[in-house]
Structure 1
Amino acid sequence: MPEMNFSSFLPEFEGGYNSSETEKVWRAQSAEFREFWITRVMGTDSDLISDEDCDKVIKILDSNGKGNNKHTEAIARAMVSQGAWRRLFNELHKNRKLGSAVNKILTEQDLKLKAQYIDDLYGMEEAQKIYLTGKSGNTISAFIAAFDPFVDLSIISLKDKKLLLDYLKSPYIKEIDKETIGSKIVNSNIEVFKAIKESGVTGDARKLSQYCYFAPVRELWRGEFTSPHEPSASDEAKEFVVTVASDEVDDQLDEIEVRESIKIQGLLAKIGELMGFDIWLPNPDRARVAKVWQPKDPRTLLTTLPLSYDKATQSTIGLIDVIWIKNKRSIARAFEVEHTTSIYSGILRMADLVALQPDIKIKMHIVAPSDRQEKFSTEIRRPVFSYMTNGRLSDMCTFISYDDVRHIAELEHLSYTKDGILENFEVSAERSDD
C-alpha cells in the first residue's frame, strides 16, 4: 500500500465537498456576523444583547453552539461555553474600550498592525476575564475567521497550527515560538495556508480548513486515530476519536489557590441548595467549606449518602467534591473541583464511578480554572477513558470553568431556576470536524 501524504485524500474529500454551496453559506454567515458586530456589539445603545441574538452568532462561531448539529456549518469548535459567549458579547458592547480594541483587529488590513492590535488586546486585564485572550488564541481567531472566512483559516487553535506546520515541514515552525502572540496568530494563518497549498491542496481558506479536519487527513497530522463506535439512536455513526496524551505533570499551585478551590466548592453547594437539591460534600472537606458556605437548612447538607449502591460504589461517590441529590435518593449532578491536583485524578474518579455502575445516569462535571480546559480535553480523551464498556467518558463528563460557576452563583432567581441552565456553561471535550 503506498504511503499516504497530505494530499492523498483530496479526491475523496472533493467528492463530498460542494464548493459553490459552501461559498454561498459562508458569504451569508459572514455577512450575518459582520452585521451583528457593527449594529449590536459596536452599537451605541446601552441595552443588553439578548441571548437569542447572541445565539444566532454563536452558532456561526462555534460548532458546539446551541442549535448546531453535524449538518450545520460553524467556524470551529472554540472551547467556549454558550454562557461565556453571551457574557463576552455583552461585555464588548458595554466596555467601549474593549470593543474598540477587538474592532481594530477585525477591520485592520495591515498585518503588522493587526498583530500589534492583538498584542495590545492581550495586554488588557479586562480581556483576560472573558475568554478573549487564551494561549491558543481560539476566541479572537474565531472572530477573525468569521469576519472573512475565505481569507482567514478556520483552524483557530495555535496548537493545531503548530502541529500542521510541523507535519508539513514548514520552516516557520522554528520561528513561531519566538514571536509575540499577535504575530503568532497572524503569521501562522499565512504560513499554514502557504504550506497546505505547497502540499498540493488548493482553494480558499474555508476549503483548506475543512480538508485539514477531514477525518483521514486529521489522523496524519494531529496524532489521533479513529475506531468504530457502536451508534445509539442519538449517536448516529458518530466518529470515535481518541487522542494519546503525553505524561505531562500539572504544576502544583500555592495555598491561595487551594483556598480558591474551596470557595468554588462552596459556591457549587450554594447553587445546588438554591435550586432545591440536597448537598453531599466529602467528610474531610466539610470544615473548610463551612467557612464559605452554610446551608440555610442544616438538613440540606447530608451526613450519609441515601443511595443503594454497593460498598465500593458508595466509597467512590463519597469522595466526589460536590454532589447534588434529588429527592434524597438519586444523584442529579456530580462535580470534581480540580485546582491543586491533577485534572487526571478528578476524571479518574468519575471513570471509576461509571465502571462500578455502568448503567448509572449522572451528569458529571470537572470544574477548574479556564486555562485548564485544554488539559481536561486532552486527559478525558485518553484511550483508557475512550474504550469504556458503556461509551466514551467524554460523552458523559463536561468541563465548567470557575468563572462560569461564579457567574451562575450571581444569577437572579436561582431558586426558580432548573439545573439544566448548566448546559449553557458546560463545554464538552468531544471533538468535531472543526
Structure 2
Amino acid sequence: MPEMNFSSFLPEFEGGYDSSAKEKVWRAQSAEFREFWVTRVMGTDSDPISDEDCDKVIKILDSNGKGNNKHTEAIARAMVSQGAWRRLFNELHKNKKLGSAVNKILTEQDPKLKAQYIDDLYGMEEAQKIYLTGKSGNTISAFIAAFDPFVDLSIISLKDRKLLLEYLNSPYVKEIDAETIGSKIVHSNAALTEAIKASGVIGDARKISNYCYYAPVRELWRGEFSSPQEPSGNNEAKEFVVTVATDDTDEQLDESGVRDSIKIQGLLAKIGEQMGFDIWLPNPDRARVAKVWQPRDPRTLLTTLPLSYDKATQSTIGLIDVIWIKNKRSIARAFEVEHTTSIYSGILRMADLVALQPDIKIKMHIVAPLDRQEKFSTEIRRPVFSYMTNGRLSDMCTFISYDDVRHIAELEYLHHTRDGILESFEVSAEQPEE
C-alpha cells in the first residue's frame, strides 16, 4: 500500500466538497456576523443583547453551539459553552473599552498591528474573565475567522496549528514558541496557509481548513487516538472497572481557608436545592462544604442514598462530589469537582459508575477551572473510556467550568428554573471539529 502524504485524500475530499456552494454560505454567514458585530455588539444602545440574537451568531462561530448539526456550517468547535458566549457578547457590548479592543483586532489589516492588538487584549484583566483569552486562542481566532473566513483559517486552536506545522515541516514551527500570543495567532495563520498550499492543497482558508479536519487527513497529523464512532460489531461485553487515582497537586486555600473546589461543591448543592432537588455529598466533605452552604431545610441534605444498587455501586456513588436526587429515589445529575491538573480522577470515578451499572441513565458532569477544559476533552476520549459496554463515556459526561457554575448560582429566579438550563453551559468532548 503506498505511503499516504498530506494531499493523498484531496480527490476524495473534493468529490464531496462544493466550493461554489460553500463560498455562498460563508459570504452570507460572514456578512451576518459582521452586521451583528457592528449593530449589536458595537451599537451605542445600552439594551442587553437577547439570547435569541446571540444564538444566531454563536451557531456560526461554534459547531458546539445551539441549533447546529452535521448539516450546518460553523467555524469550528470552540469549546465555549452557549451561556458563556452569551455573556461574552453582552460584556463586549456593555464594556466599550473591551469591545473596541476586539474591534481593532477584527478590522486591522496590518499583521504586526493585529498581533499587537491581540497582545493588548490578552493584557486586559476583564478579557480574561469572559472566555475571551486563553492559551489556545480559540475564541479570538473564531471571531477573526468569522470576520473573514476566506483569508483566516478556521483552524482556531494554536495547538492544532502547531501540530500541522510540524507535520508539514514548516520552518516557522521553530519560532512559534518564542513569540507572543498575538504573533502566534497572526503568523501561524500565514505560515500554515503557505505550508498547506505548498503541499498541493489549494483553495481559500475555509476549504483548506475543512480539508485538514477531513477524518483520514486528521489522522495523519494529529497523532493521537480516536474514539470509535460506532459500537463494536460483537456483543461480547467489555468490562472496564478502573480505580480512582489520587493527584499530588495541592490546591491553594483562600484567605478564609476554604478551597475553590469546596466552594464550587457548595454552589452546586445550593443550585440543586433551589431547583427542588435533594442533595447528596460524600461524608468526608460535609463538614468542609458546611462552611459555604447550609440547606434551608436540613432534610434536603440526605444522610443515606435512597437507591437500590448493589454494595459496590452504592460505594462508588457515595463518593461522587455532588449528586442531585429527584423525588428522593433517582439520580438527576452527578458532578465531580476536579481541581487537579490531571483532571483524571473525576473521569475515573464516572467510568467506575458506568462500568458497574452499564444501563444507568444519569447526566454526569466534570466541573473544573476553564483551563482544564482541553485536558478534559483529551482524557475522556482515551480508548479505555471509548470502548465501554454501553458506549463512549464522552457521550454521557460533559464539562462545566467553575465560572459557569458561579454564573448559574447568581441567576435570578433560580428556584423557578429547571435543571435543563445546564445544557447551555456544558461542553461535550465529542462534538465534530468541523
TM range (shorter): over 0.9
Report the CA distance shift for 1:250/1:392 in structure 2 as closer, same or farther (over 3 A). farther
Within a 5 Å distance, the mapping from 1:25-44 to structure 2 comes to 25-44=25-44
Give the TM-score normalised by structure 1: 0.94
* Residue of structure 2 equivalent to 1:165: 165
What corresponds to 1:22 in structure 2? Answer: 22
Paired with 1:292 and 1:174, the residues of 2 have a C-alpha distance of 48
Change (3 A) 1:424 1:412: same
Greater relative contact order (CA < 8 Å, ≥ 6 in sequence): 2
- Checking the alignment, whether the CA contact within 8 Å between 2:341 and 2:372 is kept in structure 1 is no
How many residues align structurally? 418
Q: Is the 8 A contact 1:105 1:118 kept in 2?
A: yes
User: What corresponds to 2:140 in structure 1?
Assistant: 140
Residue in 1 that maps onto 2:253:
255
Contact (CA 8 Å) 2:231, 2:391: kept in 1 or not? no
Structural RMSD (CA): 1.4
* Post-superposition offset of 1:259: 1.1
| Distance of 1:60 and 1:305 partners within structure 2 | 44
Deviation string, structure 1 residues 28-77 (Cα, Å, up to 9, x no partner) = 00000000000000000000000000000000000010000000000000
Would the alpha carbon gap of residues 226 and 179 (structure 1) be closer, same or farther in structure 2, given more than 3 Å must change? closer
Aligned-pair CA distance for 1:258: 6.2
Maintained 8 Å contact 2:282/2:319: yes
Structure 1: distance between partners of 2:423 and 2:124: 29
Aligned to 1:291: 291
User: How far apart are the structure 1 equivalents of 2:52 and 2:354?
Assistant: 36
Mark the CA change 1:403 to 1:361 in structure 2 (over 3 Å): closer, same or farther.
same
Q: What amino acid maps onto 2:391 in structure 1?
A: G
Q: CA deviation at 1:14?
A: 0.1
Amino acid at match of 1:98: L
Partner of 2:422, secondary structure, is helix
**Structure 2 CA distance for partners of 1:330 and 1:101, relative to 1, 3 Å:** same
Matched-pair contact (CA < 8 Å) for 1:305–1:318: yes
Distance 1:341 1:272 in 2: 27
| More divergent stretch after superposition (301-310 vs 331-340) | 331-340
User: Residue 114 in 1 paired to residue 114 in 2?
Assistant: yes
Deviation at 1:228, TM superposition (A): 5.3
How far 1:340 moved relative to its partner?
Answer: 3.6
State the SS of the aligned residue for 2:163.
helix
In 2, the alpha carbon distance for the partners of 1:272 and 1:401 equals 16
Q: Which residue in the other structure is 2:241 paired with?
A: none
Contact preservation (8 Å) 1:258, 1:340? no
Aligned to 1:325: 325
Q: 1:88 to 1:344 in 2, by over 3 A?
A: same
Does the Cα contact within 8 Å between 1:218 and 1:224 map onto a contact in 2?
A: no
Contact 2:252 2:259 in 1 (8 A): no
Identity of aligned residues (%): 89
The 5-angstrom pairing of residues 183-222 of structure 1 reads 183-222=183-222
SS of the aligned residue for 1:102 comes to: helix
Q: Which runs of 5+ in 1 are unaligned?
A: 233-248
State the shift of 1:230 in Å.
3.3
SS in 2 for 1:255: coil
Question: Separation in 2 of the partners of 1:6 and 1:370?
Answer: 33
Secondary structure, aligned partner of 2:6? coil
When residues 165 and 252 of structure 1 are mapped into structure 2, their CA distance, relative to the original with a 3 A threshold, is farther
The one-letter code of the counterpart of 1:254 is Q
After TM superposition, give the deviation of residue 231 of structure 1 in Å.
Answer: 6.8
Gaps of 5+ in 2: 233-246
| TM-aligned CA deviation for residue 229 of structure 1 | 3.9
Give, in angstroms, the shift of residue 344 of structure 1. 0.5
Deviation, structure 1 residue 361: 0.5
Q: For residues 375 and 414 of structure 1, what CA distance do their matches in structure 2 show?
A: 30
1:375 is aligned with what amino acid?
A: K
**2:47 matched to which residue of 1?**
47
Q: Distance in 2 between matches of 1:291 and 1:250?
A: 24
> Are 1:258 and 1:339, in contact at CA under 8 Å, matched by a contact in 2?
no
- Hey, what does 1:177 align to over in structure 2? 177
Query: Match of 1:286, as an amino acid?
Result: R
CA–CA distance in 1 between the matches of 2:411 and 2:118? Answer: 32
SS in 2 for 1:421: helix
CA distance in 2, matches of 1:378, 1:229: 16
Structure 2 partner of 1:155: 155
Q: Which amino acid aligns with 1:14?
A: E
Aligned CA distance change for structure 1 residues 379 and 225 (closer, same or farther; 3 Å): closer
- The aligned counterpart of 1:310 is 310
